[in-house]
Structure 1
Amino acid sequence: MSLPPGFLDELRNRLSLGQVVGRKVMWDTRKSNQGKGDLWAPCPFHQEKTASFHVDDQKGYYYCFGCHAKGDAISFVRETENVDFMEAVKILASEAGMTVPERDPQAQQKADQRAVLTDVMEQAVKWHRLQLQTGAASEARDYLERRGLSAEAQTRWEIGFAPAKGGVLASLTGKGVKQDDVIAAGLAAESDRGGAPYDRFRGRIMFPIRDARGRAIGFGGRAMDPNHPAKYYNSPETALFDKGRSLFNHGPAREAAGKGKPLIVAEGYMDVIALAEAGFTATVAPLGTAITEDQLRLLWRIAPEPIIALDGDTAGLRAAMRLIDIALPLLEAGKSLRFALMPEGQDPDDLLKTQGAGAMQKLLDQAIPMVALLWRRETEGKVFDSPERKAALDKALRDKIKLIADPSIRTHYGQAIKDMRWALFSNAKPGPRKGPQRAWNGRQEAWKRDVSPVATSKNSALGTGAAAEDHLREGVILATMIAAPAVAAEFETALEQLECRDPLHQELQNLILRHLGADDLRAVILGELGETPLEKLMSQSHVAISPAIRRPGDAEIARLCLTEEFAKLMARRGHAREIEDAVEDLTGVVDEGLTWRLAQASAALDKAGRGDNEDRAEYVIGENGARMKKDEQNAFDQLLDQIGFAKGTERPKS
């Protein structure tokens, strides 16, 4: 059965030979360099103990230095599965998500036609090269010289020129090439008005486009007329040229990347040439369009983490942002993108001319991961000063992360977003991670000095009793969240708003918020802080007897416990704040608004505290029916006396 032209090329491009072979062999990890696609294993075709079987994953070929077996993915499947050619193609097509075309009786004819068109394109490359040396191309030569391209560089890149008159169509047909073949190669076009065919490229500098195997498949033409509406113009889609599945400088860049050069993706032909001439030889560019899914797969076949170096203008940034949405669903372990952001208003060629290769290398070294650019896209220029805006940001980021198919990558993206979100919204920025023991040693003295917030409440009349109880409630909340991470995520907003007054509690609060969603939150915290801080938390008496801690697997108990503890803590602190605000507002005259505020705060505190199982004898009933602890009532009375209530004046009811 004959296959349509290009089908096998597409099949090989979509598959990783390393993955195909990896099902049959065990890679030698000491000898292999998986990041570069340089893989070694004992040969599956003959018995041996040493790793003499080599796979070049970037080029898609294998070779055994022992038995001399060699081939590509199709031949490997044929030999190892003992199937014929078409069966091997069907197996691989199924893995690649491709449908094997039906029998094509004209397949050989099409293959022959492609060979003819390839020859036509090679003749066109040579003809355009000759035209660059003519008098009509003097302006083009001056332009290339101003752009810093020497005659040697122009030869290396086979740069040519298409004159405004007397173009390639007349030249090739004059040498016996069929007019239809020139048109089929995309070099000429039929007139819409019924006239004679005309040259597609006129008055342009010509850049040949070659496929991964080095065959000329198209051209990119740069207009010499600065007012021309199409500055760059590419060959149309032909039997040879599919611009959405091609890359400029594909073959040389693949070879350079195999030798360790970083794969760079620039925006246009001149950027690629400038970078390659400066030593960044593994540079490619899409062909006049935004990067497509197929081009992205081609890039990952060359290198696992290409660096996108688009122009530092609005259009370049928009292109980078659009690429995120294309790449997210395609991400795999070890395959991602990094972004080197050019200075504003500059492209790689400008940067090289003004600051040199060192500046470019520095930008490449500082290339940011895709998750950082995703965060920048969703937050830059925006203000998150309300719960609604924060919620909108959360939703936008969640929707993007859901696009990632790989569950492991999705989890890591979620964690990275949590870290950045915490850094944006928290006053206490998370610092660099330290080893457990070192982290504990660095914090131990501070925690010893302030085991309980009671010591810091000397200026508050309610400090001795209420602050100690707040400390215990904080401990129960944090311990419950660590014991029930699945439930903890439901209380993220409440935890963010919690003002922990104990340094240990603050540290645990930060870690819980940063790692919400982790399957084993306790293990993560142990890895960050070691065992001592958790032991310190769990040893608190109020924590140890909490039902949620005594029955750690019961999600419903954990949920009820957190609901109750947050309600009590928020109500008590709201009560204290009302008293503080009232003291500040008091000007010597007691008005109804002040007494109403204090009464409402007491009522809220009473409502939240009705679930306590403590001895009722410790409580007193205020004139409005609200319950308060005796020490709180005494402190409350003392405070009112201190702020000047004379005997006989109606006082706020507790």
Structure 2
Amino acid sequence: MSLPPGFLDELRTRTSIAQVVGRKVSWDARKSNQGKGDMWAPCPFHQEKTASFHVDDKKGYYYCFGCHAKGDAISFVRETENVEFMEAVRILAQEVGMPIPERDPRAQEKADRISDLTEVMEAAVRFFRMSLRAAAGAEARAYLERRGLSEATQDTFEIGFAPPGWQGLWDHLSEKGVAPDRILDCGLARESQKGGKPYDVFRNRIMFPIRDPRGRCIAFGGRAMDPEDNAKYLNSPETALFDKSRVLYNLGRAREAAGRGEALVVAEGYMDVIAMAQAGIGAAVAPLGTAVTGEQLGLLWRVADEPVMALDGDRAGVQAAYRVIDTALPMIEAGKSLRFALMPEGQDPDDLIRASGVAALRERIEGALPMVELLWQRETEGRSFDSPERKAALDQALREVIGRIRDPSIRGHYGQAIRELRWQLFAPKRAARSGGGRWQPPQAPRPGTKASALAAADTATQERLREAVILAALAATPEVAVEFDGALERLDCRDGLHARLRDVILRHAGDGPDALREKAEAAIGREALENLMRLPHVALNPAIRRPGDPDLARMTVAEELAKISALKGIAEEISDAIEDLGGVADEALTWRLGQAAEARNRALRSQQEDKTEYDTADNGARINRDERHAFDALLDRITFSKPRR
């Protein structure tokens, strides 16, 4: 069966040969360097004790220095699984999610056509190189010199020049015997709309050949010499050779440099990549005039686990970074992410090198931000969160963004990182409200106080006692804490111990019960935490007695928060009523107080008690609630049915 041109190249690009080989061998941990994709193991093709079998995951091949076996992922599967070529292709394609194309009887013809087109492209490279050295290229040479590009760099990147004439390249290739349809199919010329001879796509431009990872020229990028030109940079149109969404400029050289341990850097344009390479940063690539695509991210992650996006230091550069985040979030997995190095305002990497030297750029790259921090910046920058509604809107936006992450483990870690950043954003306000977290003598009853203190205490004391229940319940079952973030932040927590414990829960609830307890003990002390848990109204609460029950913890916290809210409400109504008593006291005032009292009573009535099956009698005996209600109803009938005397 013949496969379409490019299919095997893409299959090899998507396949990690280290993963394929790793199923058959045990890597030598002392010789292998997983970060660089440089892996060693005893050879699976002959008996040996030493690790002479080498796999280069970046380049996609293996070689044994003992038996001299060599090949790529396809040949390894063929040899180890004893299958034919097409069966090995099917196995690997299924693993990476690539459907096998239908049989194409013209596949060989297309492959020959691709080979012909690449020959035409190489002829165009030579023409542009020759034109740069000719008299017509004097201005272009002067421009490159002003940009600081040495002749050696120009030779390395094969920089050329397209003359201003309309048919310079067309005439040159035609004289070489190249058929017109081949020139057009390469995207080097366009048909005239006026019936004349086809004209060159690139005119009066500095030319940058674009090569695929195998080193074949598949397209060109051109930088206009005329400042009035509508398109400063122009790429080849899409052809049988070129799909700009699947190509990265300089990927072949960058892959080799990254294999030597350099950080893979993604810039915005050709000149940035070339300037970095000349300054010694060889592992640099660039997309081709569009936002980074999912296919390009896949190419980057085949080369490096955490490519660094080095974007221009202007609003457009920041917006480009945000678009990359949206593309990457559904694709990230364990060990595969991005970092972001934003340039100074108004500069790109090339500008920074020329203004401050390569050390300044390296410093930016080494200090690149994790993706989660830039995501947080996007959702919070320039916005105020001075109301519960705005905070809730932030929470909703962040939940939606994090929800795009497919990997549940990474999604959880992102959630925890966002909680940490959220805590830092609102921590100053909480600290100011709670006296900076300093210890204040507790005014709540001591551990020996009876639970009836809840009923006997004033509003402030009741609030502290109920805060203790809330904090203890969340400490016992921290997985429900995220549901109450906003309510926790609004707790007054005048008791400094409560304030510190609340902040620990907000910050570390996602770490799990054991880790949270360790953080809590560090923040308030083990004895203080144990004393809190031993308070009778805390210790006897079902949510504390049954830790790890999310439904019970959720109900307890919601109930206690409602009670605190009701207590504050009645206190405010009474305060307002006292002021109103200075005027005329009427029925409206009485009605307001009555409604507030009823709201308080409804809130203070335990939801858990309402759902229990038994009541407790005066003598302490348990009475079935249904039976008690039936008995009360019978007494009522007896009482009202007695004849009057």
Equivalence map 1:25-64=2 (5 Å): 25-64=25-64
Aligned letter for 2:353?
L
Q: Are the equivalent residues in 2 in contact too, given 1:475–1:543 (CA < 8 A)?
A: yes
Q: Are the equivalent residues in 2 in contact too, given 1:472–1:540 (CA < 8 A)?
A: no
Residue 277 of structure 1 deviates from its aligned partner by: 1.0
Report the Cα distance in structure 1 between the residues aligned to 2:569 and 2:22, rounded to whole angstroms: 62
SS of corresponding position for 1:260: coil
Structure 2 residue aligned with 1:366: 367
Gaps of 5+ in 1: 431-442, 456-461, 618-654
Q: Are the equivalent residues in 2 in contact too, given 1:41–1:51 (CA < 8 A)?
A: yes
Q: Which of 561, 565, 575 is the matching residue for 1:566?
A: 561
Bigger CA drift: 239-248 or 17-26? 17-26
Structure 2 residue aligned with 1:479: 472
Equivalence map 1:423-462=2 (5 Å): 423-427=424-428, 450-452=441-443
SS of corresponding position for 2:330: helix
TM-score (norm 2): 0.85
Residue 528 of structure 1 deviates from its aligned partner by: 6.2
SS of corresponding position for 1:427: helix
Report the Cα distance in structure 2 between the residues aligned to 1:249 and 1:608, rounded to whole angstroms: 67
Q: Are the equivalent residues in 1 in contact too, given 2:352–2:361 (CA < 8 A)?
A: yes
Bigger CA drift: 399-408 or 563-572? 563-572
Structure 2 residue aligned with 1:523: 515
* Count of residue pairs brought into register by the alignment: 593
Report the Cα distance in structure 2 between the residues aligned to 1:232 and 1:557, rounded to whole angstroms: 63
Aligned letter for 2:545?
R
Q: Are the equivalent residues in 1 in contact too, given 2:118–2:217 (CA < 8 A)?
A: yes
Aligned letter for 2:349?
P
Report the Cα distance in structure 1 between the residues aligned to 2:280 and 2:269, rounded to whole angstroms: 17
Structure 1 residue aligned with 2:450: none
Q: Are the equivalent residues in 2 in contact too, given 1:423–1:429 (CA < 8 A)?
A: no
Distance 1:236 1:272, change over 3 A: same
Residue 561 of structure 1 deviates from its aligned partner by: 2.4
Residue 58 of structure 1 deviates from its aligned partner by: 1.2
Equivalence map 1:356-395=2 (5 Å): 356-395=357-396
Equivalence map 1:70-469=2 (5 Å): 70-165=70-165, 166-427=167-428, 450-452=441-443, 466-469=459-462
Per-residue deviation, residues 407-464 of structure 1 (Å, max 9, x unmatched)? 111111111112222222343679xxxxxxxxxxxx9xx65x6355689xxxxxx998
Gaps of 5+ in 2: 432-436, 447-454, 610-614, 619-645
Residue 53 of structure 1 deviates from its aligned partner by: 2.6
Structure 1 residue aligned with 2:624: none
Q: Are the equivalent residues in 1 in contact too, given 2:325–2:371 (CA < 8 A)?
A: yes
Aligned letter for 1:83?
V
Distance 1:528 1:64, change over 3 A: farther
Q: Which of 538, 541, 546 is the matching residue for 1:546?
A: 541
Q: Are the equivalent residues in 1 in contact too, given 2:520–2:529 (CA < 8 A)?
A: no
Q: Which of 501, 504, 507 is the matching residue for 1:508?
A: 501
Aligned letter for 1:509?
R
Residue 59 of structure 1 deviates from its aligned partner by: 1.0
Distance 1:150 1:490, change over 3 A: closer
Aligned letter for 1:551?
R
Per-residue deviation, residues 373-410 of structure 1 (Å, max 9, x unmatched)? 11111222222333333222222221111111111111
Per-residue deviation, residues 439-498 of structure 1 (Å, max 9, x unmatched)? xxxx9xx65x6355689xxxxxx9985544433322211111222334444433322211
Per-residue deviation, residues 28-52 of structure 1 (Å, max 9, x unmatched)? 3343322222223333333444433
Distance 1:52 1:543, change over 3 A: farther
Aligned letter for 1:24?
K
Report the Cα distance in structure 1 between the residues aligned to 2:341 and 2:550, rounded to whole angstroms: 46
Distance 1:142 1:308, change over 3 A: same
Aligned letter for 1:7?
F
Bigger CA drift: 523-532 or 312-321? 523-532
Distance 1:251 1:476, change over 3 A: same
Report the Cα distance in structure 1 between the residues aligned to 2:279 and 2:417, rounded to whole angstroms: 35
Structure 1 residue aligned with 2:621: none
Report the Cα distance in structure 1 between the residues aligned to 2:517 and 2:52, rounded to whole angstroms: 45
Distance 1:136 1:29, change over 3 A: same
Residue 589 of structure 1 deviates from its aligned partner by: 4.4
Distance 1:592 1:220, change over 3 A: farther
Per-residue deviation, residues 327-383 of structure 1 (Å, max 9, x unmatched)? 111101101111111112111111111111121112112211111111111222222
Q: Are the equivalent residues in 1 in contact too, given 2:391–2:486 (CA < 8 A)?
A: no
Report the Cα distance in structure 2 between the residues aligned to 1:592 and 1:382, rounded to whole angstroms: 46
SS of corresponding position for 1:40: strand
Per-residue deviation, residues 228-272 of structure 1 (Å, max 9, x unmatched)? 111111112222222111111111111111111111101111111
Percent identity between matched residues is: 61
Aligned letter for 1:417?
I
Structure 2 residue aligned with 1:13: 13
Report the Cα distance in structure 2 between the residues aligned to 1:508 and 1:616, rounded to whole angstroms: 38
Distance 1:508 1:43, change over 3 A: farther
Q: Is the aligned partner of 1:68 residue 2:68?
A: yes
Aligned letter for 1:263?
L
TM-score (norm 1): 0.84
Residue 556 of structure 1 deviates from its aligned partner by: 4.2
SS of corresponding position for 1:29: coil
Distance 1:285 1:512, change over 3 A: same
Distance 1:395 1:553, change over 3 A: closer
Q: Are the equivalent residues in 2 in contact too, given 1:511–1:525 (CA < 8 A)?
A: no
Report the Cα distance in structure 2 between the residues aligned to 1:275 and 1:573, rounded to whole angstroms: 63
Q: Are the equivalent residues in 2 in contact too, given 1:93–1:99 (CA < 8 A)?
A: yes
Distance 1:75 1:577, change over 3 A: same
Distance 1:301 1:195, change over 3 A: same
Q: Are the equivalent residues in 1 in contact too, given 2:124–2:169 (CA < 8 A)?
A: yes
Distance 1:595 1:615, change over 3 A: farther
Q: Are the equivalent residues in 2 in contact too, given 1:266–1:284 (CA < 8 A)?
A: yes
Distance 1:528 1:98, change over 3 A: farther
Report the Cα distance in structure 1 between the residues aligned to 2:444 and 2:457, rounded to whole angstroms: 9
Aligned letter for 1:541?
P
Structure 2 residue aligned with 1:439: none
Bigger CA drift: 328-337 or 601-610? 601-610
Q: Are the equivalent residues in 2 in contact too, given 1:451–1:502 (CA < 8 A)?
A: yes
SS of corresponding position for 1:340: strand
Residue 559 of structure 1 deviates from its aligned partner by: 3.5
SS of corresponding position for 1:103: coil
Report the Cα distance in structure 1 between the residues aligned to 2:190 and 2:603, rounded to whole angstroms: 81
Distance 1:340 1:556, change over 3 A: closer
Aligned letter for 1:179?
P
